[in-house]
Amino acid sequence: MDIDNLIDLLQWPAMLITLIAAWLVGSRSRAKRCAGFICFILSNVLWVIWGWHSHAWALIVLQLGLFLMNLRGTRKNALPAKG
């Protein structure tokens, strides 16, 4: 199997990790939410790799924006809760 086929297949783990991340960030547990944001960041990286290979420039821009939001979510989740 060549590198092009491997990168084409990358969309499937990226999709699965995105779904797992969405499930985890909805948790009441801070640790699970943190794991969810880390999964989202991993999925952002995978989608950018796949998008670059597929010339999906809008997807890359979307993933960069979502990456920044996930960094923010990770930081805010680590802060002590107010109130």
Give the burial class of 6: count Cβ atoms within 10 A of its Cβ; 0-12 exposed, 13-18 middle, 19 or more buried.
exposed
- Picking from 38, 50, 58, the residue whose alpha carbon sits closest to that of residue 8 is 50
3-state secondary structure the chain: CCHHHHHHHCHHHHHHHHHHHHHHHCCCCHHHHHHHHHHHHHHHHHHHHHHHHHCCHHHHHHHHHHHHHHHHHHHHHHCCCCC
83 pLDDT tier (thresholds 50, 70, 90) = low
Give the pTM.
0.90
**pLDDT single digits (tens) 4-26:** 899 999 999 999 999 999 999 99
